[in-house]
A and B are shown apart, each in its own frame.
Chain A
């Protein structure tokens, strides 16, 4: 795990802050002078995981770069709710162009800074899963293969929420969206479709790929900090709850994200140069049902009748993740025998940062 656990301080390393810790050990979010890269007054829904995840990630990046940071944003909720004319919630240099070209815009900014010799100013590209996994994938893959000096952050809420909850390449199986209705023998999104962008990013063998959830602030911050220590293309994939699209309680936003990790449905790990280097272990393992029950997008699995078959298939996905990423293995692991690495590392030396 990237975040260093703190022992025996009442809330250990799980809470945002801790009065018993020295300021240097507290999270960025505990700092009363945090930059609040995205500030109040934005129009995100109640309990929005993306608004929260963006502030977690960008505040950490702002601290890591001493505030010298430029963001390029894809179209999506994050852009729409933060910048309805004439208001902006951004308290940092921020740029929006199109839905599919945020990685290319970020590349351009990085190239311009390089040309000007401004190596101190760093660049972040960001977008939702639609702009990243589907529409912007070509530009993103290009950014990866050129190893441009950009940290790209995907806030994954598993569908196109901004336009009314349509399925994306990141929508999980059986989930109900406007375009995958809960009807027929196999209600909701189809099994066997979609993709894992973190694994696709790893296949580019870029210096750093990591996943995180909005439920684990310390982990998000540690990963952003690590990413900002490196140069070259870096990718951070943060699972963010969408109370509207997932049809869960706004107050359960963090809880649902936490369960995504604790069930094994969303593996949290880090990879360097194409090989997994660390995983966040499951602390209190839960069956998938506890996660699914909180979300209306899975209600058809429980009523009018219980779909044991579908539940078993979802549990199998979680079990496979747990085995594949060794999420419950109490011991550490060695890179060599890590199953997820098999077939991933190609011949030749890993690419260094630019």
Chain B
């Protein structure tokens, strides 16, 4: 070879030296389950949709979201967001406001008229609505669980009909959750979208016998989600003229536009979320004094902290460690309680009077299970229907979910039941068995390298001004605007899943990380990787693990 002036040696490249032979451990890219996803009762891929929202691609984010949950605008408002409680970011500054972003996406979808049909088509290609099965499924109840099941079953290729006892669909979302938490135009829009997707909803239809209904309609399977609508009563010795009613009826009548007369001083008996709803509703109906009487303490009350805080802000008073001994006109006799060593309230004998024109009982709800009478194989325990891991009752082909089965009673849990049941019903209808894919190990804060995340505290959604909110049923919590939602989405740490920050590509002293096309992440060049582990150590989100060298 002709060499240039003054060059006497051939030039060789170090590429001939495969330093990969030095390695005794190798980096591998992994996906871990982010804690938000792990905590979501509806099984949403929260991090997955935040990823698109971070780019400002809200439609794609929403489409990812509705693959799991067809009610994002509702969810972003009423869910008690266990996702944010689990969020790793809470240990750095503040949890990501996932609920705020979800609500923003839901509202954006309503505003822009995004359709579910498109969601299916774009999410998994042309055949997204799975091949038609020719099977028919009956869903009883148009609450969150029933709507969710119907939506998912439709996606899976079945023909679905919902039979609902209410005049309007929505179940507890309409007749239990007050308007100041969930405006009805939002609910209507999301229900309508499910109808447009092909779900037939038959309202004002009481299913009195599920087997008859299945036979008459030619249904191959049924999903029952009738909820728990009957307010639990407690015996309270009362004079003739004492006004006692239950929270479920109060909320339902208020929704129907005919609220009961409560008077100016209202006592609410109970410590759950329904008690908070009842007390706040009473304030809006004109009660000057709304008092919640609860037998235990603040720490032990089942109502969510956020609901309690908002109730207190609206002037609701709390009577802790108290039970109602006796009710008479305009007055209650309360007995003070104290907690024993087991945290159970015990009477003390100390009595106290409380002025009250009405007592609202918010002591829990029971399910009306009469439609199941005579169904063989079914088992009812503690007032709820027992179901297996596949959500099927003891009767083949009859599945159940939501408030009528043993679980926490929230909208989100209901939606989750609907999705889960739909998958099992699909498998059952097709003669197979649904096996969920194994979950990745959870990405806890320990796998993150938090140095790399910029400090950015949470954006708080503005609340409706207090005076205004005690007198109207207008929505209390206002939404995030686009800028805030984007900021909030970008606070996501992407725990356990690569978000293409290029850190591994940058910090490798051996150029042994290959950057692939956008969206395809990276690959390790094992010919040269020496196994130093820097990429794994400096990965912000814990998406690289060191594994023993095979062989």
Interface with B: A38-46, A124-132, A158-166, A324-332, which one?
A: A38-46
Tell me which of A9, A15, A251 contacts B537 (CB under 8 A).
A251
Q: Which A residues lie at the B interface, using CB under 8 A?
A: 5-20, 26-27, 29-30, 32, 36, 39-44, 46-49, 51-52, 55, 82, 85-89, 217, 243, 249-255, 258, 284
* Least CB separation from A12: chain B residue: B454
A15 and B502 contact, Cβ closer than 8 Å, known pairs A46-B530, A254-B534: yes
Tell me which of A14, A52, A88, A254 contacts B454 (CB under 8 A).
A14
Interface with A: B11-19, B201-209, B350-358, B382-390, which one?
A: B11-19
Does B509 lie within 8 Å of A39, measured CB to CB?
A: no
Known interface pairs A10-B501, A19-B518; 13 further A-B residue pairs with C-beta atoms within 8 A, sorted by A's residue number: A9-B454, A10-B454, A10-B492, A12-B455, A17-B505, A17-B506, A19-B499, A20-B55, A20-B490, A46-B531, A49-B509, A86-B9, A250-B534
The listed residue with most B CB atoms (<10 A of its CB), out of A19, A43, A55, A252, is: A19
Mask: chain B, 482-495; 1 = CB below 8 Å from A; 0 = not:
00000100111110
The contact sample of 27 A-B pairs, CB cut-off 8 A, is: A10-B490, A11-B540, A14-B453, A15-B501, A15-B502, A15-B540, A17-B501, A17-B503, A19-B500, A26-B502, A29-B502, A29-B505, A30-B506, A36-B511, A39-B15, A40-B511, A48-B509, A49-B509, A87-B16, A87-B17, A88-B13, A243-B532, A250-B533, A251-B532, A251-B533, A253-B534, A255-B537
State the CA gap A51–B9 with chains docked (Å): 25
Please give the distance in Å from B519's CB to the nearest CB on chain A.
9
Does B13 lie within 8 Å of A41, measured CB to CB?
A: yes
Does B490 lie within 8 Å of A87, measured CB to CB?
A: no
A250 and B505 contact, Cβ closer than 8 Å, known pairs A19-B500, A40-B19: no
Does B537 lie within 8 Å of A43, measured CB to CB?
A: no
Interface residues of B in 489-535 (CB under 8 A from A): 490-494, 499-503, 505-512, 515, 518, 525, 528, 530-534
State the CA gap A11–B454 with chains docked (Å): 5
Does B534 lie within 8 Å of A258, measured CB to CB?
A: no
* Least CB separation from B486: chain A residue: A8
B335 at the interface (CB under 8 A from A): no
Does A16 lie within 8 Å of B503, measured CB to CB?
A: yes
Tell me which of A5, A19, A39, A85 contacts B511 (CB under 8 A).
A39
* Least CB separation from B530: chain A residue: A46
Complex interface: chain B residues within 8 A of A284 (CB): 451
* Least CB separation from A8: chain B residue: B456
Complex interface: chain A residues within 8 A of B532 (CB): 46-47, 243, 250-251, 253
State the CA gap A273–B453 with chains docked (Å): 35
* Least CB separation from A48: chain B residue: B509
Does B501 lie within 8 Å of A8, measured CB to CB?
A: no
* Least CB separation from B23: chain A residue: A46
Does A51 lie within 8 Å of B505, measured CB to CB?
A: no
* Least CB separation from B500: chain A residue: A19
Chain B contact residues, majority secondary structure: loop
Does A44 lie within 8 Å of B11, measured CB to CB?
A: no
A86 and B10 contact, Cβ closer than 8 Å, known pairs A8-B487, A10-B499, A17-B500: yes
Does B506 lie within 8 Å of A27, measured CB to CB?
A: yes
Does B15 lie within 8 Å of A51, measured CB to CB?
A: no
Does A9 lie within 8 Å of B490, measured CB to CB?
A: yes
Does A42 lie within 8 Å of B506, measured CB to CB?
A: no
B538 at the interface (CB under 8 A from A): yes
B54 at the interface (CB under 8 A from A): yes
Q: Which B residues lie at the A interface, using CB under 8 A?
A: 9-19, 22, 54-55, 451-456, 487, 490-494, 499-503, 505-512, 515, 518, 525, 528, 530-534, 536-538, 540, 546
Please give the distance in Å from A164's CB to the nearest CB on chain B.
20
Does A17 lie within 8 Å of B511, measured CB to CB?
A: no
Complex interface: chain A residues within 8 A of B508 (CB): 52
State the CA gap A101–B502 with chains docked (Å): 37
Complex interface: chain B residues within 8 A of A14 (CB): 451-454
Does A40 lie within 8 Å of B22, measured CB to CB?
A: no
Nearest 8 A/B pairs, CB to CB: A12-B454, A17-B502, A16-B506, A251-B533, A41-B14, A46-B532, A47-B532, A86-B12
A52 and B507 contact, Cβ closer than 8 Å, known pairs A7-B454, A8-B454, A15-B501: yes
Does A39 lie within 8 Å of B537, measured CB to CB?
A: no
Complex interface: chain B residues within 8 A of A30 (CB): 502, 505-506
Please give the distance in Å from A157's CB to the nearest CB on chain B.
13
State the CA gap A130–B187 with chains docked (Å): 72
Complex interface: chain B residues within 8 A of A26 (CB): 502
Please give the distance in Å from A271's CB to the nearest CB on chain B.
27
State the CA gap A89–B487 with chains docked (Å): 43
Complex interface: chain A residues within 8 A of B530 (CB): 46
* Least CB separation from A254: chain B residue: B538
Complex interface: chain B residues within 8 A of A36 (CB): 511
Does A16 lie within 8 Å of B507, measured CB to CB?
A: yes
A87 and B518 contact, Cβ closer than 8 Å, known pairs A19-B500, A41-B528: no
* Least CB separation from B16: chain A residue: A87
* Least CB separation from B516: chain A residue: A32
Does B11 lie within 8 Å of A254, measured CB to CB?
A: no
Please give the distance in Å from A152's CB to the nearest CB on chain B.
22
State the CA gap A243–B22 with chains docked (Å): 16
Does B491 lie within 8 Å of A89, measured CB to CB?
A: no
* Least CB separation from A9: chain B residue: B490
Please give the distance in Å from B116's CB to the nearest CB on chain A.
28
Complex interface: chain A residues within 8 A of B512 (CB): 40
State the CA gap A89–B525 with chains docked (Å): 16
Complex interface: chain B residues within 8 A of A250 (CB): 532-534
The listed residue with most A CB atoms (<10 A of its CB), out of B18, B22, B509, B515, is: B509
Complex interface: chain A residues within 8 A of B452 (CB): 11-12, 14-15
Please give the distance in Å from A256's CB to the nearest CB on chain B.
11
State the CA gap A20–B10 with chains docked (Å): 44
Does A43 lie within 8 Å of B17, measured CB to CB?
A: yes
Please give the distance in Å from A95's CB to the nearest CB on chain B.
12
The listed residue with most B CB atoms (<10 A of its CB), out of A5, A46, A49, A88, is: A46
Does B509 lie within 8 Å of A258, measured CB to CB?
A: no
A40 and B525 contact, Cβ closer than 8 Å, known pairs A15-B503, A19-B518: yes
State the CA gap A44–B16 with chains docked (Å): 15
Does A16 lie within 8 Å of B501, measured CB to CB?
A: yes
Does B507 lie within 8 Å of A42, measured CB to CB?
A: no
* Least CB separation from B490: chain A residue: A10
